[in-house]
Structure 1
Amino acid sequence: MTETPKTAPGAALSGLRVLDMTRILAGPWATQILADMGAEVIKIERPGVGDDTRSWGPPNVTDQQGRDRGAAYFHSANRSKKSVTVDMVRPEGQRVLKALAGRCDVVIENFKVGGLAKYGLDYASIEAIKPDIVYCSITGFGQTGPYANRAGYDFLIQAMGGLMSVTGQADGTPGAEPIKVGVALTDVLTGLYAVIGILSALRHRDATGEGQHIDMSLLDVQVATLANQAMNFLATGTSPGRLGNAHPSIVPYQAFAASDGHVILAVGNDGQFARFCEAAGAPGLATDERFATNPGRVRHRDVLIPILQGLMSGRSMDDWITTLNAANVPVGPINSIERVFADPHVRFRGLQTYPTTPDGDALVGVGSPLKLSRTPAVAPLAAPDLGADTGAVLSRLLDPSTFDLEALMADGTIGDTRAKPKAGGTP
Structure 2
Amino acid sequence: MGALTGFIAIELGDFQTAPGAGAILGDLGANVIKIEDPVRGDSLRGLFTMGDTAMMIAEGRHLIFETANRSKRGITLDLKTQKGKEIFYKLIDKADIFYTNYREKVLSDLGADYETLSRRKPTLVYGKIDMYGIKGPVAERRGYDFAAQARSGMMWMMGDRDSPEPAVVYGSVCDESGATMLAMGLITALLNKERNGIGQRVDVSIYGTMIHIQCTGINLTSLRGRGWARHSRKRVRGPLSNFYKCADGKWIFLVEPRADEFWPGLARALGRDDLVNNPKFNSAKGQRENYEEVIKTLDEIFITKSLAEWLQAFEEHGLDKAGFSYSPIFEYQDVISDPQAWANDYLVEFDHPAAGKLKLVGHPMSFSKTPAGIQREAPEHGQHTEEVLAELCDLDWEELARLRDEKVI
Q: Normalised by the size of structure 2, how large is the TM-score?
A: 0.88
| Residue type of the alignment partner of 2:407 | G
Find out whether 1:385 has 2:380 as its counterpart: yes
The 3 A distance-change label for structure 1 pair 356 and 277 is: same
Displacement of 1:324 after TM fit?
1.4
Secondary structure of 1:83's partner?
A: strand
Partner of 1:354: 350
Partner of 1:192: 180
The 3 A distance-change label for structure 1 pair 303 and 76 is: same
Of the structure 1 ranges 98-107 and 241-250, higher mean CA displacement relative to structure 2 is found in: 241-250
- Equivalent residues in 2 for 1:218-297, closer than 5 Å: 218-243=206-231, 251-268=239-256, 269-270=258-259, 271-282=261-272, 292-294=282-284, 297=287
* Residue deviations 1:283-338 (CA, integer Å, cap 9, x gap): 56565556555576456544432221112112221111111133223444333333
**What is the percent sequence identity of the aligned residues?**
27
- Equivalent residues in 2 for 1:104-183, closer than 5 Å: 104-171=95-162, 173=163, 176-183=164-171
Partner of 1:420: none
| Residue type of the alignment partner of 2:91 | L
- Residue 353 of structure 1 contacts residue 365 of structure 1 at CA under 8 Å; is this kept in 2? yes
| Residue type of the alignment partner of 2:404 | M
> How many Å separate the matches in 1 of 2:237 and 2:203?
33
Partner of 2:391: 396
Answer 1 or 2: which has greater helix percent: 2
Partner of 1:419: none
Displacement of 1:153 after TM fit?
1.1
> How many Å separate the matches in 1 of 2:71 and 2:357?
13
> How many Å separate the matches in 2 of 1:155 and 1:139?
14
Partner of 2:405: 410
| Residue type of the alignment partner of 2:376 | L
> How many Å separate the matches in 2 of 1:31 and 1:130?
20
Partner of 1:6: none
> How many Å separate the matches in 2 of 1:225 and 1:295?
31
Partner of 1:314: 304
Displacement of 1:399 after TM fit?
4.3
Aligned residues: 395
Secondary structure of 2:116's partner?
A: helix
Secondary structure of 2:156's partner?
A: helix
> How many Å separate the matches in 1 of 2:355 and 2:186?
32
The 3 A distance-change label for structure 1 pair 299 and 194 is: farther
Of the structure 1 ranges 53-62 and 40-49, higher mean CA displacement relative to structure 2 is found in: 53-62
The 3 A distance-change label for structure 1 pair 241 and 267 is: closer
| Residue type of the alignment partner of 2:262 | Q
> How many Å separate the matches in 2 of 1:296 and 1:310?
19
Displacement of 1:81 after TM fit?
0.9
- Residue 29 of structure 1 contacts residue 191 of structure 1 at CA under 8 Å; is this kept in 2? yes
- Residue 247 of structure 1 contacts residue 253 of structure 1 at CA under 8 Å; is this kept in 2? no
- Residue 349 of structure 2 contacts residue 357 of structure 2 at CA under 8 Å; is this kept in 1? no
> How many Å separate the matches in 2 of 1:113 and 1:277?
60
* Residue deviations 1:238-264 (CA, integer Å, cap 9, x gap): 133432679978642332111112222
Partner of 1:341: 336
Of the structure 1 ranges 12-21 and 345-354, higher mean CA displacement relative to structure 2 is found in: 345-354
Find out whether 1:372 has 2:367 as its counterpart: yes
> How many Å separate the matches in 2 of 1:31 and 1:286?
54
> How many Å separate the matches in 1 of 2:120 and 2:264?
64
> How many Å separate the matches in 1 of 2:289 and 2:33?
54
> How many Å separate the matches in 1 of 2:181 and 2:142?
20
Secondary structure of 1:43's partner?
A: strand
- Residue 342 of structure 2 contacts residue 348 of structure 2 at CA under 8 Å; is this kept in 1? yes
- Residue 9 of structure 2 contacts residue 96 of structure 2 at CA under 8 Å; is this kept in 1? yes
The 3 A distance-change label for structure 1 pair 12 and 248 is: farther
Secondary structure of 1:155's partner?
A: helix
| Residue type of the alignment partner of 1:55 | G
| Residue type of the alignment partner of 1:198 | L
The 3 A distance-change label for structure 1 pair 204 and 250 is: farther
- Gaps of at least 5 residues in structure 1 are 1-9, 63-67, 415-427
Secondary structure of 2:57's partner?
A: strand
Secondary structure of 1:354's partner?
A: strand
Q: Normalised by the size of structure 1, how large is the TM-score?
A: 0.84
RMSD (Å) for aligned C-alpha atoms: 2.7
The 3 A distance-change label for structure 1 pair 170 and 283 is: same
- Equivalent residues in 2 for 1:26-37, closer than 5 Å: 26-37=17-28
> How many Å separate the matches in 1 of 2:328 and 2:181?
30
| Equivalent in 14, 34, 41 of residue 50 of structure 1 | 41
* Residue deviations 1:47-79 (CA, integer Å, cap 9, x gap): 1332111223333222xxxxx141112111111
Partner of 2:51: none
Displacement of 1:185 after TM fit?
1.0
Find out whether 1:204 has 2:199 as its counterpart: no
